[in-house]
A = this chain, B = another copy of it.
Amino acid sequence: MTAAIGTLAVIGVGLIGGSLARALRAAGAVGEIVGCGRGEQNLALAKELGVVDHYTHSIAEAAASADMVFLSIPLGAMRDAFAALAPVLQPHALVTDGGSAKGSVVADCRSAAPALLPRFVPGHPIAGTENNGVAASFATLYQNRRVILTPLSENATEDVAKVTEMWVACGADVTEMAVEHHDEVLAATSHLPHMLAFGLVDMLAGMKENDEIFRYAAGGFRDFTRIASSNPEMWRDVCIANRHALVPMLRAFSAELGELAEMIEIADGEGLLEIFANAKSARDRYIDGVQAD
């Protein structure tokens, strides 16, 4: 049996790209894997670890022989990547990505390489840790995790199916969603929480007794702020790329906090209890009920 994907080019061999490579390799679902990136050290490590078979710093070189190209690079680098891919891609080759916002990536493809649109199937694996680089990647990252594809009207059904198959081979649960809807859902469940965690730790770090503050931070604080240890460059790109969905939510939440402060100030116990009880019941029902890990 031939591997489902002959040659895979992974552009950006970090946690996301490296884990895809490892998972497909472990599933016997890929022939050859070419890595591409900027950092020599990370790529050399990727080869040493067997995550990629060989590597290059040139997107064009990596993509030229590929049957499938996976873009797992910061959102701010997508536009240039599409421009580099367009002239060299084989006619049958497909492109997909792992970006946390989809509208901006589709816009980048449309402006830098419109002819590529039919063969670009946008995607987003809902998985990750706060660690970076190929050293943090592992073959089971996507097992039982959701991957959202946001197919374009330009995509052929069988191409969407091929990208779906790739993720299924990694153990993921693949669903489809409209681009704008994806961006709203992710702003709510991921981008907004990241802003809160980054913002909180930044504010506390600026207080004069910050040493002491962090010394007395207990387990709840560690969990709550874990996502503030995520890659700052990546998150700068994500929040700018998804600003149309994120900014209104951030403003709405800022207003919600103002109301909460008001209720606490006037000691409105009933109102507070309603909010806290509603939150607890929603979390217990949806989160712990739906996906245990």
Give A residues with C-beta under 8 Å from B. 76, 126-130, 145-146, 148, 181, 184-186, 188-190, 192-205, 207, 209-233, 235-237, 239-240, 243, 246-247, 250-258, 260-261, 264-265, 267, 269, 272-273, 275-280, 282-284, 286-288, 290-291, 293
Contact = CB atoms under 8 A, between A and B. Distances in A.
Contacts of A279: 197-202, 205, 228, 232
Contacts of A269: 76, 236-237, 240
Contacts of A267: 240, 243
Contact of A128 (B181, B197, B204, B220): B220
Contacts of A273: 232-233, 236
Given A217-B287, A247-B264, A251-B257, 19 more contacts: A146-B215, A190-B220, A193-B200, A193-B225, A197-B279, A201-B282, A201-B283, A202-B275, A210-B282, A217-B286, A222-B291, A225-B287, A229-B280, A229-B284, A233-B273, A235-B272, A236-B272, A236-B273, A247-B265
